[in-house]
Amino acid sequence: MKKTAIAVLLFLLMAGCSTKRLDIKHPAMITPEKVAQIKEGESRKEAVTAIFGTPQDIIRHRSGSESWFYKDFNLHSLYIDFNAEGVVDSLKSD
């Protein structure tokens, strides 16, 4: 009986650590439709902020460029690189 209880507890702990996406609905979610609104070489920081809000992390480079990182509740992530003028150089989402 004790071994069964331990096995069940371990199973529940492992299930809680799953990396499966949660499919939570929230306005700040990273969706393909929102990502498609951001255009490389055109979109500026203000447009990105209007769509996704404040990034979770900003890396400022010596060149004046920046990299922004977003992650939502469903574990989708978005990486955006801006040039020194604040225009999107590249973006990657998963």
What are the boundaries of each domain within the chain? Answer: 24-93
- pTM check: above 0.75: no
What pLDDT shows up at residue 16? Answer: 54
- Angle, alpha carbons 27-82-39 (nearest 5°): 60
Which residues does 70 contact at the CB level (< 8 Å), separation at least 6?
30, 52, 55, 56, 77, 78, 80
User: pLDDT tens, 20-67?
Assistant: 555 656 667 999 999 999 999 999 999 999 999 999 999 999 999 999
Regarding the domain delimited by 24-93, which CATH topology (the fold level of the hierarchy) does it fall under?
Answer: Beta-lactamase Inhibitory Protein; Chain:B, domain 1 (3.30.1450)
Structure token digits, residue 76: 């989708």
Q: Label residue 73 by pLDDT band (50, 70, 90).
A: confident
Give the Å distances, CA to CA, from 29 to 20, 34, 40, 55, 64.
Answer: 16, 9, 20, 12, 28
Average pLDDT over residues 70-87: 95
- What's the pLDDT score for residue 49? 96
